[in-house]
Amino acid sequence: MSDATTALPLHDVTARKVHQWAMVVLVAAGFVLGGPAAVGLLIVAGLVMVAGRFWWPADVFRQLTWRVLEPRRVLRRRELHEDHETRRIARLLGGLVWLAAAALLLFHLPVLAWTLALAIAAMVVLDAAFDFCALCFVLHRLRR
């Protein structure tokens, strides 16, 4: 590990990944179900992302991981050194986009709504599956 990596704080990657996959499932279910259910699921996903960013108890999926899945050894806690600040910004932006997509659905603009919602979901999948944070990548490239 490099000195830069070990200087970063440790974070529970397991809880982050449970949260990310849960968000993707909510958005995908909204896409499949459509109608009022889609609006509701996008609102739930957006609120969990935004509210959970500022108040940890609002992130019900991380809470489920920390309070139930890890203590009962359903999932194993895995901590890694990572830059959490950029991921927090990405989380806030993603949650706001999902809330905006819900509003766009209410205004009968489904193509725009789902283009935005699925773009964010794709970025969440990249991070959940491959630890590739798109915003982290862009910011890193801009700093160079």
Q: What is the pLDDT of residues 45-76, one digit of tens each?
A: 999 999 999 998 999 999 999 999 999 999 99
Token code pair at residue 86: 């950029």
Domain residue limits, the chain? 10-143
What integer is the mean pLDDT of 97-112? Answer: 98
pTM listed for this prediction: 0.90
Residue pair 51/94 in contact by the 8 Å Cβ criterion: no
Strand (E) or helix (H) holding 58: none
